[in-house]
Amino acid sequence: MTNYKLYQIRSKGRASSSAIIFRLDDYVCYKVTPLGSDEKFIICPNIPPFNTYRVDEYLQIDLDITRNNLSTYNFYNTDVVRRAPSSAVSIPSMNQNQVSTIVRQINSAIDSDERNRYTASIEVNPETGNIIYRLSGERK
């Protein structure tokens, strides 16, 4: 049986020449030792798919497996640590005030220069949930 918990990657570094350490937004349950048990990181091998995971992406981690291992264990199994599918990540919705603010900024840029043609877009990154808006212009 699996007991997945969702974690966001806050930073990524090298634990050793062959391992990656992912610093996470919450604690992972590990085997209890006299020095402690829970840490805000997980270690994986520096091989695909683990080395393709990026900061701000989400991981699903099976806590039933991690709690039977020390925090220094190198988790190589993608059934234990895996990129969370976008359907598992709740994407924040934009409220009316956020949309109005973005539209005002876009309109202000467009109104300030009649010599350019502008294209605007508003997107939500499905992997991170970040709201992104772009404004590009070209001369008429």
Q: How far is CA 123 from CA 12, 94, 131, 135, in A?
A: 25, 10, 6, 12
Does pLDDT of 23 surpass 90?
A: yes
**CB-side exposure of 87: number of CA atoms within 13 Å?**
0
Q: How confident is residue 125, by pLDDT bands cut at 50, 70 and 90?
A: low
| Mean pLDDT value across the chain | 81
Which position has the higher pLDDT, 114 or 69? Answer: 69
Structure tokens at 22: 């992912």
Question: What percent of the chain clears pLDDT 90, i.e. is strictly above it?
Answer: 49
Q: Which residues of 1-21 are buried (b: 16+ CB within 10 A; e: fewer)?
A: eeebeebbbeebeebeeebbb
Q: Which of 24, 27, 22, 25 is nearest to 53 (CA)?
A: 22
Which of 11-15, 17-21, 66-70, 108-112 comes out lowest in average pLDDT? 108-112
Q: How confident is residue 59, by pLDDT bands cut at 50, 70 and 90?
A: very high
CB 29 within 8 A of CB 67: yes
Does pLDDT of 6 surpass 60?
A: yes
Q: State how far the Cα of 81 lies from the Cα of 139, in Å rounded to an integer.
A: 49
What are the sequence ranges of the domains in the chain? 4-88, 96-139
Does pLDDT of 95 surpass 90?
A: no
Q: What angle do CA 78, 80, 83 make, to 5 degrees?
A: 55
